[in-house]
Structure 1
């Protein structure tokens, strides 16, 4: 049995698991940007030939510790490289990841190459040459903390390079991303039911061609003339030939049954010429109609008797900017879909929320995908039931609500570019900017979380309720979201003054992304959602500081900061909270990002009591306590009253050279530095306030605390 790793673009992991299982990889399980699986060599060959989603197929050769550069060189040299290549052969090395001492991937790749060629030179007096394009073997070295995984790249070159492409448009879509779009859109089932496919902005025809190859049961690697496995000395040529022969037979049968129901249109004649050359090269030209046509003339092809799929990859605005002409293009997409394709399915990918809303249709499904490094969303529409967002007659907005709409749109315009640049999808869009509309509006991907603030005593309750309804209506219209995607937290009046009413008990969690990580949030059941948006820079700071450190997170809540520390390379994380509910939530966040095992401890305990009894020392401590706590299972806590005791206990657990990050959101908090002698304290609050909270910069305070030198 061999160990394999199939790499893929972010967002495709779960689809790739299903695909590899269909090829016989019963133990396939996802990791970040890839899938682990095991099996005989035939399974690795089959994945190279048949995977429509993978980028590379890697075969594990060795795994060893790399405390330093010498250990890396020695570990690679332990293998007998004459078993893998001849001295007359060529070599290439790719390196990914880093360790505490090895952070330059180019240098790591160079040392791996040196270890291989030095072994040949010592034994034969000759050395293999380097060929970066089509080497005899390509090696992949992956560093994970102080562990090296040495792999043979069976694919040799990225698998999205199918071998049929002869020309590309301005912004070509990679073939494996195109296949992911088709699978998420349900294309195999649509074709099986007799449906066709239309791409109204086909460019170089990637979607159309991959859809035809998928429907025709043509192996995606069948037309490639280079695989890394072919130059490997242990390559089983007879097995490879048998698999290819079987794939050719399946393709012959599949293409004979293929109906000519594939349509691609574009307004650029030069791009269309490239598309036609691509279709010819892929062997599907006889099944594909490619024609010059503008979007405004798009109609349902009369050859398609059954409902089919409209799918496209329109311009996003990343190169040209989101202007009114681009918004008009997306509006036209929506109009064509509504007027010409009733009964069909539709799927559109974009990277901009404003463009998605301009389509004017409510998506039934949304999937996060990555086009290169650019985070995108795939919108799937069911044109049987999809209703336009605008048709229902509504009462005009009041002058105050119009002001709210203008302010919200202004905020979004100000935030859009920096948020897009950093890939941020969870942020604060509005924070009581207008005193009459006292609420915070937070965005969590495709959902909104609206939290009402206490209105001034001079505002009648009836007026406050009207304004709250206007906040919800304006937010729904600006973000083009249904009411079901908006969570509303309202205050109720009773003894003791204003307080939030009873929360829901839905148990509904949604997955959101931040900083390349994934987290679960619950917008309805608790006062807080599980992700403190204002702490986004603090989480990033912890990730930067965590490499090789032992990390402690007190009052850890849902563990998001601990996940960042793990992602930053912390040698061990310990997360402490009194709530079993939040610890379970934290455990799910860890698992969602692939961090499991004894190196990531979750401890249910009162933070102060635990500090008094824990003998361990930590290099990095993050402490963000509640303002008040009166749990029955622990002593009452008051951050102003108890912070000195808390920080002294933290300092006692701090390793030499270690750092405490102390944060809290009590607006009237004053740090008692006179009682914390022996500690160096630096206020870093201004550096930890994100752009979307800049209007209310007192949302939290934060300090760096160290032992005095």
Structure 2
């Protein structure tokens, strides 16, 4: 008998090898799968054991067709009662087209009508259509005027093993995971390198598939049903014998398994899915799962092994610039800790793997659904040139910087030297070191004690993507050398115009906070999870001014963010503080900042509201000092209207001044680079621009970082 196995693009050659290993004869590669021949047992075995195929089809006829009538007649040439009972349900899948048949739904309808009409004419019973669980699935495909009509012996796609009922974001299909492992020579590696590790395992597909392969467990053993089981010519005894054989092999495989399996992920909820999936797959006892971020990635044990992973690549999980450091960290960890290992990285954005900093032994194209993915294979050689037997080298090999990277490093060192005296006098640990000083390196580099926060300004579309990419690589290479910091403490993000709640959206879920201090105030900082860190460094002088002038006053902080200005006011002796923001996330952060400084009393209020709407409802002048620092632009769904600081600043100031007591001060600030205050419409107030006084030395290179004004009643 002739059969056809379908598979995703890029897996064809692997599928040919697999079918040959399963005993198939006359195996021939095609554009979307492989043809093979054998007894019906061979088709059953392929359904049960193929880790790569999507479907196993039994071809019925091939006919030249052009019109709907010819399609109908060709389908009727098959004796359908040899394959199905008269009361069976069917489902037709149709692909391809001709000049007359140019819609797949129409083609499927014609095939269905031909089958149903024939059975009804012969038996008087009309078969039904079942879209969810049909007794028989029929595949019809037309290419260049030739119809290929087949029965689907597999039923649903074979990549659905049955163990994965739920998955995390952007999961790999099981047969793609198996293909990645086979390309990486697993499970052959298990004999000499018996460890498999996925540091970003998600719902566990790669690690589970690896365990099934090493334990000789049939991938289809958990499936509830195959298409051939309701086929009229099904040989039940033969199938049960194959299942018994698979059960025996599973038992022996698990008993003789020597390989060890490790999966980790930073998301605890998705790890629970992985554990449940492993349990259903019958391999939970051999896999160790651990919650850990990529930054915490370490070799799971001393034995060599295979690290295999599918990191995010920007298609659905963030911008590629924000992911560069993730890939860089993977490369650093591989070079530092995984000597003697093999590594396999599958990504839908091959350019990101340049940042890994390792030369791939091989690479393969593999499709992940509609995404053109690429698999990179690496060998991590142990460098023994300077190491005597029995001794370990603790010396880290540092690659020489390129000329451009060295130029950037020199500028960082120069800036560091010029700011050192000021930074030491002010006892400041968080400051801006570099802000696009050199046009070709359009980044901002901020220091937060021993951490470095790098923001890449989004390049215009006219800038060559590869050149921009190379410059970021220079930046990431230069910073550790110039600043003497651990590469794992450098965090890269891309800065671009935010709209709606973009400034509030999570960029990651690392959940790592640490404490910094400024003028005696303590703050929680998070460099990974959000676009901003929790502390606007350019407002440091304004905050200090508020701290020095707030003693005994009632202080209002509008658009408060994490309420750092409110903390300064409280530390400065404010009688009360009120902090208003529409983000519940940042208000919770604000409360923790206040508590960190020992302020838990009812004198410090936090209000979740759209500031403009809240201001319109207030009438009483209840504050001696107000800090108004609106975003440049916001169209958040939480707001009743769009906020544009240039257009709306007059209304914001007038509404805020209604709440200011006589003798008080409103400090108005914003970060719009081209902002112009409308003095004419605000002529009823005493206004003094203090921008230059609120720019510390670390922002002198970019004096337009913000505008700042003191506004009082005459």
TM-score normalised per structure 2: 0.55
1:326 aligns with 2:323: yes
Aligned to 2:576: none
> Are 1:213 and 1:284, in contact at CA under 8 Å, matched by a contact in 2?
yes
Give the counterpart of 2:347 among 307, 326, 350.
350
Distance (whole Å) between structure 1 residues aligned to residue 359 and residue 69 of structure 2: 58
Match of 2:670 in 1: none
Aligned equivalent of 2:67: 68
What is the aligned length? 422
In the alignment, is the contact (CA less than 8 A) between 2:299 and 2:338 conserved in 1? Answer: yes
Give the whole-Å Cα distance in 2 for the aligned partners of 1:5 and 1:392.
54
What SS class does the counterpart of residue 6 from structure 1 fall into? strand
- Measured at CA, do residues 288 and 268 of structure 1 come closer, stay the same or move farther in structure 2, by a change above 3 Å? same
Counterpart of 1:114 in structure 2 is 113
Distance 1:205 1:320 in 2: 18
Partner of 1:382: 379
Q: What is the aligned partner in structure 1 of residue 10 from structure 2?
A: 11
User: Tell me, which stretches of 5 or more residues in structure 2 are unaligned?
Assistant: 385-395, 408-437, 443-456, 478-714
Counterpart position of 1:190: 189
Q: Secondary structure at the match of 2:273?
A: helix
Q: Distance in 1 between matches of 2:133 and 2:300?
A: 43
Residue in 1 that maps onto 2:400: 392
Q: Pairwise mapping of residues 226-245 of structure 1 onto structure 2 (< 5 A)?
A: 226-245=225-244
1:413, distance to aligned residue in structure 2 (A): 5.9
* Aligned mates of 1:293, 1:158 — CA distance in 2: 33
Cα distance in structure 1, aligned partners of 2:363 and 2:406 = 33
- The 4+ residue runs of structure 1 with deviation greater than 4 A are 385-390, 393-399, 402-406, 409-417, 473-478
CA–CA separation in structure 2 for the residues paired with 1:411 and 1:145: 46
**Structure 2 counterpart of 1:335:** 332
Q: Secondary structure at the match of 2:304?
A: strand
Q: CA RMSD in A?
A: 3.1
Distance 1:477 1:189, change over 3 A: farther
1:296 aligns with 2:295: yes
Match of 1:307? 304
Aligned to 1:28, the other structure's residue is in SS state strand
Give the 3-state SS of the residue equivalent to 1:161 in structure 2. coil
Paired with 2:193 and 2:116, the residues of 1 have a C-alpha distance of 56
Deviations 1:315-354 (A, max 9, x none): 1111134244311211111112112211100111112233
Structure 2 CA distance for aligned equivalents of residues 194 and 337 of structure 1: 16
Q: 1:360 maps to which residue?
A: 357
Match of 2:76 in 1: 77
1:231/1:415 Cα in 2 relative to 1: closer, same or farther (>3 Å)?
farther
1:277 CA drift (Å): 0.5
Q: Give the equivalent residue in structure 2 for 1:317.
A: 314
Instruction: List per-residue Cα deviations over 1:581-614 (Å, max 9, x = no partner).
Output: xxxxxxxxxxxxxxxxxxxxxxxxxxxxxxxxxx
Q: Which has the larger radius of gyration?
A: 2
Instruction: Tell me, yes or no, if the aligned pair for 2:320 and 2:352 is still in contact at 8 Å.
Output: no
Structure 2 contact 152–227 (Cα < 8 Å) conserved: yes
Could you tell me whether the CA contact under 8 Å between 2:86 and 2:126 is conserved in 1?
yes
2:36 aligns with 37
Against the structure 1 CA distance between its residues 414 and 31, is the aligned structure 2 distance closer, same or farther, given a 3 Å change threshold?
farther
Instruction: Provide the rounded CA distance (Å) in 1 between the counterparts of 2:185 and 2:8.
Output: 20
Superposition map of 1:524-563 within 5 A: none
Q: C-alpha separation between the residues in 2 aligned to 1:210 and 1:397?
A: 42
Q: 1:404 to 1:203 in 2, by over 3 A?
A: closer
Cα deviations across residues 600-629 of structure 1 (Å, max 9, x unaligned)? Answer: xxxxxxxxxxxxxxxxxxxxxxxxxxxxxx
Task: For 2:110 and 2:151, locate their aligned partners in 1 and report how far apart those are by CA, in whole Å.
Answer: 16
3-state secondary structure, aligned to 2:172? coil
Deviation at 1:259, TM superposition (A): 3.0
Which stretch has the larger CA shift, 9-18 or 320-329? 320-329
Residue in structure 2 matched with residue 212 of structure 1 by the alignment: 211
Q: Distance in 1 between matches of 2:222 and 2:336?
A: 39
Q: Deviations over 1:136-164 (max 9, x none)?
A: 11000011111101000000100000011
Do the aligned residues in 2 keep the contact of 1:346 with 1:381 (CA within 8 Å)?
yes
Mapped to 1, the partners of 2:322 and 2:474 lie a distance apart of 21
Alpha-carbon distance, 1:410 to partner: 10
How far has the Cα of 1:124 moved from its partner? 2.2
Q: Structure 1's 7 and 385: CA in aligned 2 closer, same or farther, altered over 3 A?
A: farther
CA distance in 2, matches of 1:352, 1:359: 13
